[in-house]
Amino acid sequence: MSQIVHTEDERRTILEALQIDDADQLFSCIPPSLRVTGLQLPQGLSEIETQTRLEALAAQNRPGHDGSFLGAGCYRHYVPATVRSLTSRGEFVTAYTPYQPEVSQGTLQHIFEFQTCVCELTGLEVANASLYDGPSALAEAAFMARRITRRDGIIISGGVHPQAAETVKTYAQGPALTVHEQPLEAGSGATVLGADAIPPEAGAVLVQQPNYLGVVEDLEALAGAAHAAGALLVVSVEPGTLGVLEAPGVLGADIVVGDAQVFGNAPSFGGPSVGFMSCRAAHMRQLPGRLVAQTTDADGKTCYTLTLQAREQHIRRAKATSNVCSNQALSALAATIHLALLGPQGLRERGELCLQRAHHLHGALCALPGVSPYVSGPFFNEFALTLPCPAEAFAAAMRTRGIDPGVPLTRLGAGTTATASDSSEGNVLLVAVTEMNPPEMLDHYVASAREVLTQPARTAEGGAS
User: Quick one: 275 exposed, middle or buried, by C-beta within 10 A (0-12, 13-18, 19+)?
Assistant: buried
DSSP 247: P
pLDDT band at 459 (very low <50, low <70, confident <90, very high): very low
**Separation CA 434–CA 382 (nearest Å):** 9
State yes or no: pLDDT of 268 exceeds 60.
yes
Predicted TM-score (pTM) of this structure: 0.83
State yes or no: pLDDT of 416 exceeds 60.
no
State yes or no: pLDDT of 432 exceeds 50.
yes
pLDDT tens digits along 215-236: 999 999 999 999 999 999 999 9
pLDDT tens digits along 69-118: 999 999 999 999 999 999 988 888 776 677 777 778 888 999 999 999 99
**Is residue 289 within 8 Å of residue 129, measured between CB atoms?**
yes
**Separation CA 388–CA 218 (nearest Å):** 31
State yes or no: pLDDT of 436 exceeds 90.
yes
**Separation CA 284–CA 294 (nearest Å):** 15
**Separation CA 417–CA 425 (nearest Å):** 10
Which of 10, 277, 319 is closest to 129 using CA atoms?
277
State yes or no: pLDDT of 383 exceeds 80.
yes
Q: What SS3 state is found at 32? A: helix
pLDDT score of 465 = 45
Q: E-assigned strands of 161-231? A: 178-182, 202-209
**Separation CA 223–CA 250 (nearest Å):** 10
Q: Give the number of residues written for the chain.
A: 465
pLDDT band at 380 (very low <50, low <70, confident <90, very high): very high
Which of 396, 378, 397, 394 is closest to 386 using CA atoms?
394
pLDDT tens digits along 226-263: 999 999 999 999 999 999 999 999 999 999 999 999 99
Cα end-to-end span (Å), the chain? 50
State yes or no: pLDDT of 312 exceeds 70.
no
pLDDT score of 66 = 63
Q: What is the mean pLDDT of residues 437-446?
A: 95
Domains of the chain from N-terminus onward: 8-58 (no CATH), 81-336 (3.40.640.10), 344-454 (3.90.1150.10)
Contacts of 373 (CB under 8 A, 6+ apart): 362, 366, 383, 384, 385, 386
**Cis upstream peptide for 378 (omega within 30°):** no
**Separation CA 83–CA 117 (nearest Å):** 16
